[in-house]
Amino acid sequence: MKIKHLLLNLLFIGVFCPLLFAQGPTAGKRNVLLLIADDMGIDLSRQYTSITGNAFENLPATTNIRKLADSGITFTNAWSNPVCSPTRAGFLTGQHSFRTGVTDAADPDLPLAQDTLPELLNSTTTYKSGLFGKWHLGDGEETTSPPNTNGPQNQGFDIHQGILGGGVTSYASWTKFENGSAATATEYPTRANVRDAFNWIDTQTGNWFAIVAFNAPHTPLHLPTVTCDGVVPDADVDEDMTDTQKVFRMIECMDRHIGWLLVNLKGVLEDTTVIFIGDNGTEGNTNLSPFADSLKSSFKGNVYEGGIRVPFIVSDGYHYEHGTEAPLSSGLGRIVSPGRDEAGLVHTVDIFDTVIKIAGETSADGLDSVPLIPYLENATAGTKRDYVYTDRCSDLTGTQFQAAIRDNDHKLIYIEDSTTTTELYETSDLEEANALDTSTGDNKTKYDELLAELQDLWDTYNPADGCTAPSY
């Protein structure tokens, strides 16, 4: 695809002035734009109030994310991993963390031998791939001494601008890497991510896959300026402002920058599939009902619902730009009946097969990934997964291994440290307050079924350093 645009007084005065592209829609393959919110579970999203029970007006105002939902599909039963690095390794490889070896954010090094999504796109298609924002899958983290030998460009990306580690030390001044070279940046990271992404997309003459991996609303928590282009000094912040209120403002600024990016992609957006996800659940000090009401550790880092239930929206850029009544051309990635919810079981690992299929590559499949194309093309497709699975392995949490698997009606949690604990819940029990008796009857049958599915997965367990295969 060739991008042509008419520059209309391009100014940066706190906001982007829209660029209007002269290009019309083209037939064939579509671009893919993946937007990732860092530490945002469904409890912080207005798109999931029918599930969480939270009041719409008491959540961050996210006009542009809502527009993505209105022009696409909101997946209401989407899981991620409990922490960021395994989720990112999963959608880049199409494999669960026990296969990639990236089972925790504390040991995020994705083996170079793994085939990644950008490597496959670059080798089997004409797509170019760019990452703007957070990486957190390498060995060098935020240092250049020794040089990072497992950065985005070692894993197939044509360009990376952002951070290599898990977060910035300050949203006011941070270390920005551009293709491995480090420099101090003072531009608000959320704004820098979308500006960098736009500048790269603007130069592309063919199809592209771009990831905008925001730092927000990850710590350090802060109050953004009204124009979302900086940080209000702590001395000027109302001492009564809570961490949750800061997270709300960080999400609202992220949403605002998403809107700026999509407006600036006018003309290109109509040939683009947009995916928005959270990489894991909300932090424990800022999570909301129903997870904050749970007596379990239902927040980031754990396999209870608050740690793994995330926003997952797939949007048709043509509908976003022209409205849901606009005529559709053919092509994988187009969405029929936009603005609907989909209750089928999905996982962030499914992004791998979805992007590969949209790009027209039919020979590659992620071992654990299921393409979402049927959901996009058919409003009554029905679930494409019988089960969905997630896990985390970490000595740092005091829990050696924790995993969860669910079907439509029940969820089994497996926790192994010095002892082994299993808990079976009905999936309607979001607080996971009422563990079922699995000693007899239907509950025992369901328990045995889900445990057998876990065992089938673990037969090929490939533990990360310091983690051992579950004994079950």
For residue 9, what pLDDT is reported?
32
> Domain boundary residue among 386, 411, 439?
386
pLDDT the model gives residue 42: 98
Where do the H-state alpha helices sit in 265-349? 305-308, 317-322
In this structure, are 364 and 452 located in the same domain? no
In this structure, are 162 and 232 located in the same domain?
yes
Q: Does some domain include residue 463? A: no
Find the DSSP H helices in 46-136.
49-52, 63-70, 84-93, 97-100, 117-124
Same domain (yes/no): 378, 416: no
22 domain residue, yes or no: no
The answer to the question of residue 424 being in a domain is yes
List of residues 6+ apart from 145 with CB closer than 8 A:
none
Residue 14: band (very low, low, confident or very high) from pLDDT cuts 50, 70, 90: very low
Report the pLDDT value the prediction gives residue 468, as an integer from 0 to 100.
Answer: 63
Q: What is the CATH number of the domain that holds 244?
A: 3.40.720.10
**115 in a structural domain:** yes
Strand 72-79 relative to strand 128-134, pairing:
unpaired
Angle between helices 63-70 and 243-264 (to 10 degrees): 60
Same domain, 88 and 69: yes
* Residue finishing a domain among 324, 358, 386: 386
Kindly state whether residues 174 and 72 are assigned to the same domain.
Answer: yes
Residue 153: its pLDDT value, please? 93
Same domain as 454, residue 394: yes
Across 23-37, 192-206, 243-257, 434-448, least confident range: 23-37
Instruction: For residue 273, tell me if it sits in a domain.
Output: yes
The residue written with tokens 């894993």 in the block is 155
Q: Quote the percentage of the chain above a pLDDT of 70.
A: 88
Q: Is the pLDDT of residue 293 over 80?
A: yes
Q: Which amino acid is at 172?
A: A
- Provide the pLDDT for residue 458: 83
Instruction: Kindly state whether residues 201 and 234 are assigned to the same domain.
Output: yes
Pairwise CA distance, residues 354 & 34, whole Å: 11
pLDDT of 208 strictly over 60: yes
pLDDT of residue 142 exceeding 50: no
- Please give the helix or strand (H or E) that residue 402 lies within, else none: strand 401-406
Same domain for 330 and 263: yes
The DSSP secondary structure of 45-62, one letter per residue, reads -GGGHHHH---GGGS---
CB-based contact 129:121 (threshold 8 Å): yes
42-83: pLDDT as tens digits? 999 999 999 999 999 999 999 999 999 999 999 999 999 999
Residue 24 has pLDDT above 70, yes or no: no
Residue 41 within a domain: yes
| pLDDT for position 397 | 54
For the record, the structure tokens of 467 come out as 């983690």
Do 381 and 430 lie in one domain? The reply is no
Say if pTM beats, i.e. exceeds, 0.75.
yes
Model confidence at 15, pLDDT cuts 50, 70, 90, reads very low
Cα-atom radius of gyration of the chain, to the nearest Å?
A: 21
Task: Report how many domains make up the chain.
Answer: 2
> Region 104-116: what's the mean pLDDT?
90
Structure tokens at 117: 């999504």
Q: What percent of the chain has pLDDT over 90?
A: 75
Residues 170 and 209 in one domain: yes
- pLDDT higher than 90, residue 472: no
- What pLDDT, on a 0 to 100 scale, did the predictor assign at position 395? 61
Whether 165 and 222 map to the same domain: the answer is yes
Final residue in a domain of this structure, among 366, 386, 406: 386
Domain of 293 in residue numbering reads as 5-11+29-386
The predicted-structure confidence for 401-446, as pLDDT tens digits, reads as follows 899 999 999 999 999 887 889 999 999 999 999 999 999 999 999 9
Helices (H), 208-242: none
Residues 368, 453 within the same domain? no
Task: Tell me the average pLDDT across 284-293.
Answer: 96
Which residues share a beta bridge with 178? Answer: 161, 181
